[in-house]
Structure 1
Amino acid sequence: MNGPPVSAAAPAAAPSVPHRPLARWVARLGAGPLESGGHRVTGLVNDGAERTDARSLPLFQDPAWRRVCLTARRGGAPAVPALALHHPGRGTAYVELDDYGRPLRASTAGTELVARIEARWDVPPSEPDVVRVLSGESLDLRHVLLYRLADESEPPPVLFHSLPWAGLEAVVDNVLSMLDTAGSAERPAFELRHWFTPAATRLAGPLAVLERGMREGREPLVLRREAAALLTGLLAARPERIPGATTRRLALLAERLGAQDPLLRHTARVITVRLRPGGSDRRLASPSLALRMDPVLPAAARTTGSGYRTTVRDESFELRADHTPGGRVRVMLTVPAPPGTDEGAWTTSPDGLVAPLTIRSAETGTARLWIALRAKENSLLGVLELFSRPSRLDLVADEPAVPFTALRSVPAAGLVPSLRASSAATLRLWERAAAALPAGHPVSVALRLHRDEATR
């Protein structure tokens, strides 16, 4: 190279971690005179180790690497200002690459900001100028920086406000408009893609699929499934990482989806309480279906031998747990019956419905079981039989029920504990669902695994 590249401003204190790649891929820049239009990429991606995350390459464990902004180009593409790393002692430089193998765009100010954040990786700065500069950088740089921060530290929530939330709001507005008028809408100009995953997983993907499905007139079953997936993602999202204007739109969308389908109503109510402004003051009023089971029964239950029942309700939704002196916990979940099949309704699936139950304990951490639901009068009822553990159990049933077919992304081994906790009558619901699903579906495979266990 023709002299050393221009480096980002040196931090006041030594960085707590070496400057390492943010992107998964890097490539070495050619040495010697400047190529016309910028530095030329000459090296292989990750020096030939393409399947290795560049951040873990031994090369970059040397603390001498420094952040730089270089004008770089690869192949016949135009040169662009890009994020790079320079080793002063070796005189070598590597440019970071985006998902398409192109130099990762970054301005000089953006590069200096990355160096500043890396110097305080465990407690990144969050002043207004940080968010302002980051908001002006390329989407690739914003995504990869925030992804690394979220994975390796606990960054200030305001940093995630630099993501392109206006684009997500436009997609939400499209869905709201189609729900209100049942009319068509123009295709959004902004493609959501993976840009929002550092702030919230399972949000942008289901939202984009739901919007496209409504715009293209997909069948109600598909729309209900994606609406349930979107609400499940919103339930897990951290509201402080999402700007206020966006949370208000998302809360309104959750309300409308809950009004569209009774099975989604409880989840929508929990989400709107969390996303409304001033939500920190309203958490006590949350309608969450959450129960806490102590390992030791109350004295009255121990002396009578009758067991102990706890119940929580939200309109037509109910979670009940019976804790017996023998150490068993019988969990019963009641939800409204699915909507009818008249024109315009969001219908359920012929393979039946299953509801997720989250179980938390200090002994085993967090686990998820699935409750098969059967019709009972005007409701759906599901039952699981659990053994109480020597630590307190928290049971939460806020996620919406979904068709068995939606379990296609759950590993079969992860469904076996739910089968172990099922009665003979409940197992028949799983078998009926498996008969309507492909042979290789996780539900079918889990049933085979469960039968193999029983015959050992």
Structure 2
Amino acid sequence: MTAVHRPLTLWVRAARPAPLPAQPGPAHDGGPARGAVRWSAYGPLNEGDERADARDLPRFADGWQRRSLPLTDGGEALGLYRPDTGEAYLELDDDARPLPADPDTAEAVAAIERRWPALRLADTERDLLAAADPGLSFSLLDRLADEGRPEPECFHVLPWERVERLAAEVTRALRAPGTAPAGATPRLRHYFAPTGSRFSAALEQLAAAQRAADPRIRRVATTALCTRLMTAPADRMPAGTRSELAELLTAIAESDALLGATARAAAARLAARESGRTVLYYGSPARVRNQFAPTASGGTQQAEDSVEREAVTLRLAVDSHDEVSVVITATLPADTARSLPTDYGVVLLPVRVTGVAGHPELYVLLVPTGAGLSGDLGLRAVPGAEISADQSGPPLGAEELPFLDVRAVRATMSATIPRTDRRTWRTLAGALPEGHPVRAAIKEDPQS
């Protein structure tokens, strides 16, 4: 079967040949030297449709060869060449510039395309792609991840040294505030999106917030980073990167009592090279059984259990009337408690409760107390069921309000919660624009 060579990048541009002047000597008769042709880009992007994906253009259905095209202004770029017509196209990066690639790299890409979608990369291919322009390795892995099931080691060709350098910079800043970055701060850009996680955007945001000394954005970025590393496919990261990110997560846990449990759980996942989860896993949840033997007195019976997640303690109880209570308390250092209004605005702890009526995901509103924070929910148990409860994500603040799970908001508003909490939820709804689904879910509160 003949391999089909199609664009790797979103954008391509036609290439115009520019023959070199003939070199003097007996081998030449005054015409252009054989094979000495350089190329320059001309014409519109994607034949005039910048919004199209070049890979889907009918022109590239078949008949093309993978080439490295020497450029008139120097260097070589990844391209496609059609022998029967002499046409050529240059592949472009996200800045619409030709994507650099020497002949060996272009041949490695061609070899991968001949067995597309490749499940694994040969050692020589891996070495060439790791040394290539990051835009090339990104484009190749982005296509492979979209059209096939490449093994995790394929993703190790991405420029992970940038992640390691930036993670080390952020770790130093957390442990020694005011530490100046060593050299230029590396840009991660979009290069790590093929892994299936947006952790790199959160890492860059955290680094920027530290340099700007912006505590609110730093809190948002740290929360996002911990959350995304809890579900990132760790096996797609090299060992050195996982180690550097785990060190950063440990530093976060040491400096942020509320995020400690999530940061340490994410670090443990990286160490174990775990793939993604849809439910964040912190450990064994609190469990109680909604089964009670009859008693002579006929009084109310209760079963309870609790778990500790760093600064957070979760207590779960069920009684013989099928009433379930989830109580959260958090004991915080004084400086953390003082910074909560600035950093969070409002604190919502995601919890997952099974064995109860309704959606299992909910939010507990945590309000300041003398010792830190506390909050509770009341639910109805499924008769005879085992009930479990645990933290299911990091604490969230006002910045995350627009992105809350609408089903979890509805389940929370249907639960038994203190009247003062309902007033706070209604105030939060007022901060969202009309028609926002989270605002609508709060306004649907059956007890308002």
Same fold, TM-score > 0.5, yes or no: yes
Quote how far apart the aligned CAs of 1:322 are.
6.6
Give yes or no for contact 2:257–2:336 (8 Å, CA) kept in 1.
no
Q: 2:305 and 2:368 mapped to 1: Cα distance?
A: 23
What's 1:43 paired with? Answer: 43
Matched, 1:213 2:209: yes
Q: Pick closer, same or farther for the CA change 1:270–1:184 going to 2, 3 Å.
A: same
Q: Which digits, 9 at most, give the CA deviation of each residue in 1:338-388, with x for residues without a partner?
A: 553479967654631123357999xx9x99654433346644335375897
2:160 matches 1:165 = yes
- d(CA) in 1 for partners of 2:433, 2:198: 25
Counterpart in 2 of 1:19?
A: 5
SS at match of 1:402: coil
Q: Aligned partners of 1:118, 1:321: CA distance in 2, in Å? A: 55
Change (3 A) 1:338 1:201: farther
Residue by residue over 1:159-190, the C-alpha shift from the partner in whole angstroms, topping out at 9 and shown as x without a partner, is 22222222222222222222222223136342
1:105 lines up with 2:100 in the alignment: yes
Provide TM-score, normalisation by structure 1: 0.75
User: Contact (CA 8 Å) 2:325, 2:379: kept in 1 or not?
Assistant: yes
Name the structure 2 match of 1:263.
258
Query: Contact conserved, 2:413 with 2:445, CA < 8 A, in 1?
Result: no
Alignment of 1:232-381 (within 5 A): 232-276=227-271, 288-289=282-283, 300=291, 312-318=307-313, 332=326, 334=328, 336-337=330-331, 339-341=333-335, 349=343, 351-357=345-351, 370-375=363-368, 378=371, 379-381=373-375
Please give the alpha-carbon distance, in whole angstroms, between the structure 1 residues aligned to 2:230 and 2:388: 17
Percent same amino acid at aligned positions?
A: 26
Following TM superposition, by how much is the alpha carbon of 1:143 offset from its aligned partner in structure 2, in angstroms?
1.2
Task: Give the corresponding residue for 2:59.
Answer: 59
**Aligned 8 A contact 2:352 2:389 in 1:** yes
Classify 1:121/1:420 alpha carbon distance in 2 versus 1 (closer, same or farther; 3 Å): farther
Residues 1:397 and 2:370 are matched in the alignment: no
Q: Secondary structure at the match of 1:355?
A: strand
Give the match for residue 195 of structure 1. Answer: 191
Q: Write the distance in 2 (CA, Å) between the matches of 1:405 and 1:156.
A: 36
1:290 offset after TM fit, Å? Answer: 5.9
CA distance in 1, matches of 2:354, 2:66: 43
Q: Quick one: distance in 2 between partners of 1:413 and 1:429?
A: 17
Superposed displacement of residue 23, structure 1? 0.8
8 A contact 2:118–2:144 mirrored in 1 = no
Deviations 1:114-159 (A, max 9, x none): 1222233344333322221111110110111112222222212222
- What is residue 68 of structure 1 aligned with on the other side? 67
Cα distance in 2 for partners of 1:430, 1:251 equals 35
Answer with 115-124 or 157-166: which moved more.
115-124
After superposing the two structures, state which structure 1 stretch, 140-149 or 309-318, moved more: 309-318
Shift in Å at residue 238 of structure 1?
A: 1.7
Check whether the contact 1:257–1:265 (CA below 8 A) recurs between aligned residues. yes
Change (3 A) 1:59 1:318: farther
Q: 1:309 to 1:96 in 2, by over 3 A?
A: farther
Mapped to 1, the partners of 2:390 and 2:114 lie a distance apart of 40
Alignment correspondent of 2:26? none
> Once structures 1 and 2 are overlaid, which stretch shifts more, 413-422 or 62-71?
413-422
Give the Å deviation of 1:27: 1.6
Question: SS in structure 1 opposite 2:172?
Answer: helix
Q: How much does 1:250 deviate?
A: 1.3
Size of the aligned set, in residue pairs, is: 416
What SS is found at the alignment partner of 2:195?
Answer: coil
Would you say the 8 A contact 2:368–2:374 is kept in 1? yes
Q: Which residue of 2 aligns with 1:155?
A: 150
- Distance in structure 1 (CA, Å) of the matches to 2:8 and 2:293: 57
What is the CA–CA distance in structure 2 between the aligned matches of 1:360 and 1:86, rounded to whole Å?
59
2:70 aligned partner, one-letter code = T
Between the aligned partners of 1:387 and 1:35, the Cα distance in structure 2 is: 81
Q: Which has the larger radius of gyration?
A: 2
Change in Cα spacing, 1:69 to 1:434, as seen in structure 2 (3 Å) is: same
Question: Which of 132, 135, 139 pairs up with 2:134?
Answer: 139
Q: Helix, strand or coil: the match of 1:268? A: helix
CA distance in 2, matches of 1:159, 1:445: 39
Unaligned runs of 5+ in 1: 1-12, 281-285
Query: What is the identity, as a one-letter code, of the residue corresponding to 2:132?
Result: E
- How far 1:303 moved relative to its partner? 9.1
CA deviations on 1:17-65 (whole Å, 9 max, x unpaired) are x3221111112223x65488722223321111211111222333x2333
The answer to whether the Cα contact below 8 Å between 1:316 and 1:334 also exists between their aligned partners in 2 is: no
TM-score (norm 2): 0.76
In the alignment, structure 2 segments of 5+ residues that lack a partner are 22-36, 275-279
On the 8 A contact 2:192/2:198 being kept in 1, the answer is no
CA distance in 1, matches of 2:84, 2:325: 65
Quote the residue 1:9 is aligned against.
none
Structure 1 residues 417 and 129: alpha-carbon distance in aligned structure 2, compared to 1, 3 A threshold: farther
Q: Please state whether the residue corresponding to 1:263 is helix, strand or coil.
A: coil
Tell me, in whole angstroms, the C-alpha distance in 1 between the residues paired with 2:353 and 2:136: 37
SS in 2 for 1:207: helix
Give the C-alpha shift of residue 287 in structure 1. 7.4
What is the CA RMSD across the aligned residues, in angstroms? 4.2
Say which SS state the counterpart of residue 20 (structure 1) adopts.
Answer: coil
Correspondence list, 1:414-429, <5 A: 417-418=410-411, 420-423=413-416, 425=418, 426-429=421-424
Closer, same or farther in 2 for the Cα pair 1:342/1:228, shift >3 Å? closer
Aligned partners of 1:384 and 1:421 also within 8 Å = no
**C-alpha separation between the residues in 2 aligned to 1:348 and 1:402?**
13
